[in-house]
């Protein structure tokens, strides 16, 4: 089971931290992806952290502003969102899987998803 949390209303330029907590399995052995979907738009990959000591990857639209990290003790992956913009408004969801290298942005390659959490960036 995956549970995403931490969404809410934040002003432009502000920060928010999303959490993706797993229960029933150890997140350490899987890659975790964060995706978002805004109304009327396709789902897009935001970030990915690979299993174990693997790499972290970001979509160009969040690079330098968002940071993904893993807390093994909490069995949770976090997405720290800084300098948020109105265009970051979307439902954010996390997924677990083992996508082929370089293809983390393809949502179809992630078999297990948590429920989404709404992020709204507005003044």
What is the arithmetic mean of pLDDT over 67-88?
96
In the predicted structure, residue 36 carries a pLDDT above the cut 90: yes
Q: What is the mean pLDDT of the chain?
A: 95
Per-residue pLDDT, 78:
97
What pLDDT band is residue 60 in, cutting at 50, 70 and 90?
Answer: very high
Per-residue pLDDT, 101:
87
In the predicted structure, residue 54 carries a pLDDT above the cut 90: no
Beta bridge partners of 119: 8, 90
Predicted confidence (pLDDT) per residue in 109-123, tens digit: 999 999 999 999 999
In the predicted structure, residue 53 carries a pLDDT above the cut 80: no
Per-residue pLDDT, 31:
94
The C-alpha atoms of residue 14 and residue 63 are separated, in whole angstroms, by: 16
The C-alpha atoms of residue 66 and residue 46 are separated, in whole angstroms, by: 9
């Amino acid at each position: 089971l995956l549970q995403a949390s931490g969404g809410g209303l934040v002003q432009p330029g502000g920060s928010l931290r999303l959490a993706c907590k797993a229960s029933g399995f150890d997140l350490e052995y899987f890659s975790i992806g964060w995706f978002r979907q805004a109304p009327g738009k396709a789902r897009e990959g935001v970030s990915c952290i690979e299993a174990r000591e693997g790499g972290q990857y970001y979509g160009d639209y969040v690079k330098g502003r968002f940071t993904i990290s893993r807390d093994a003790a909490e069995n949770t992956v976090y997405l720290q969102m800084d300098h948020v913009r109105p265009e970051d408004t979307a439902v954010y969801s996390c997924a677990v899987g083992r996508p082929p290298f370089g293809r983390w942005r393809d949502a179809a390659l992630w078999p297990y998803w948590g429920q989404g959490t709404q992020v709204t960036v507005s003044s």
